Amino acid sequence: MPHYPVSLDLKDRRCVVIGGCSLAEEKARGLLAAGARVTVISPDLTPGLAELAMAGRLDVTARRYRWGDLRKTFLAVVVGVDMGLVEAVWRETRERNVLVNTVDDVAHCDFIAPAVVRRGDLAVAISTDGKAPALAVRLRQRLESELGEEHARFLEMAGSVRAPLARLLPDLAKRRDLWYRLLDSDILHLLRRGQEAAAIDRFEEILGVRPEIGAA
């Protein structure tokens, strides 16, 4: 059965990365970006992980994983450790109901981390259900070249008008039609060209409300 795609709220939740390689650093940085409280368990760290620890951005347990390390943990990621350690981590996650992802080992995963393209609040996740992560990476790279910062700026503006638009136009179907009209206009083209004033005018012209946000 294919995995069920979700976006998890990790803000202030304890997440553990077991492993200290470059890929473990990538995973730790992704968790930090999501607002998680991150602990890395590994006797060896990349310079980047050591720097994050020195800056107080994450905690480090400078040894191999031991049973009990996942107490009060919401989510764990296992990267680049031997199979015996993977099995031990898996058993503890089962006992403590901890979500776990063991990189490149779908049999020991509750979830698969997709390749993600981010533009501000826009996140596009790409998953191959663990069958070909390289394909997901290539698709992400293609989308990164197609999705510009204008999408992030659009979402900033959209977020500022949602509440006033709902008050002005309570009918959901009518609001939805206006949003499609806006997106089918030249709004993204204007933002791509840096024509902020014209883009704000287009919002007001189509939606009837004017974005109130700071300069980019």
> What share of the chain in percent tops pLDDT 70?
98
> What share of the chain in percent tops pLDDT 90?
82
Residue 25: which domain range? 14-113
DSSP string, 5-58: P-----TT-EEEEE--SHHHHHHHHHHHHTT-EEEEE-SS--HHHHHHHHTTSS
Share of the chain residues as helix, strand and coil, in percent rounded to the nearest 5: 45, 15, 40
4, part of any domain: no
Q: What is the pLDDT of residue 42?
A: 97
86-131 per-position pLDDT tens digit:
999 999 999 999 999 999 888 999 998 888 898 988 989 998 888 8
pLDDT at residue 215 is higher than 80: no
| pTM of the complete model | 0.78
Q: What is the pLDDT of residue 212?
A: 83
Kindly report the backbone phi and psi dihedral angles of residue 41, in degrees, each rounded to the nearest multiple of 5, phi listed first.
Answer: -115, 110
The single residue listed with the structure tokens 């779908």 is: 106
CATH number at 135 reads 3.30.160.110
Together in a domain, 106 and 167: no
212, part of any domain: no
7, part of any domain: no
80-91 per-position pLDDT tens digit:
999 999 999 999
Q: What is the pLDDT of residue 156?
A: 95
Q: What is the pLDDT of residue 129?
A: 83
- Mean per-residue pLDDT of the chain: 94
142-179 per-position pLDDT tens digit:
999 999 999 999 999 999 999 999 999 999 999 999 99
pLDDT at residue 49 is higher than 80: yes
Together in a domain, 41 and 104: yes
Together in a domain, 96 and 167: no
Structure token pair of residue 146:
């197609």
Q: What is the pLDDT of residue 1?
A: 59
Q: What is the pLDDT of residue 167?
A: 95
Say whether 124 sits in a helix, a strand or coil.
strand
CA-to-CA distance for 20 and 40, rounded, in angstroms?
A: 7
